[in-house]
Amino acid sequence: MCGLCGIFGDSRHWSDEIVRDGDSVPVWQRRRERQHRITLINKILTPYRVTVADWQGEKLVVRGPTGRCELAETVGDLWQKAEIAAGRPLDPLDAQFLEAPDGT
């Protein structure tokens, strides 16, 4: 899919939907919480030298240690794109990963 179709398409993941007391929250609050999720994701991916950034509030840019970039549509396909960007399988249950100080 081209980038333009991705911008106008509605490919939201359940983790991007925030509803409290039956009402949707304001856009600014959704973006703030999205950024918080991205910060947590980056902490998890730090040992693999992979970073994630927001792109237009719609997609996630996944960058590997060599500069390779992948676009993840949702948080759901993020791990697969992170493996492609890293050029190797990523195992969050790897002993070295789990023994790292503070999980990073």
Mean pLDDT of the chain: 78
With 60 as the cut, is the pLDDT of residue 97 above it? Answer: yes
1 falls within a domain = no
43 falls within a domain = yes
55 falls within a domain = yes
Helix (H) or strand (E) holding 2: none
66 falls within a domain = yes
Distance separating alpha carbons of residues 9 and 91, to the nearest angstrom: 31
Q: First vs last Cα of the chain: how many Å apart?
A: 34
- Residue with the larger pLDDT of the pair 31 and 66: 66
Determine the pLDDT at residue 80. 93
27 falls within a domain = yes
Q: What angle do CA 81, 83, 85 make, to 5 degrees?
A: 70
49 falls within a domain = yes
pLDDT tier at 12 (50, 70, 90 boundaries)?
A: low
Tell me which residue range forms the domain holding 62: 16-98
pTM: 0.69
pLDDT tier at 22 (50, 70, 90 boundaries)?
A: low
Determine the pLDDT at residue 5. 47
Q: How many domains does the structure of the chain reveal?
A: 1
4 falls within a domain = no
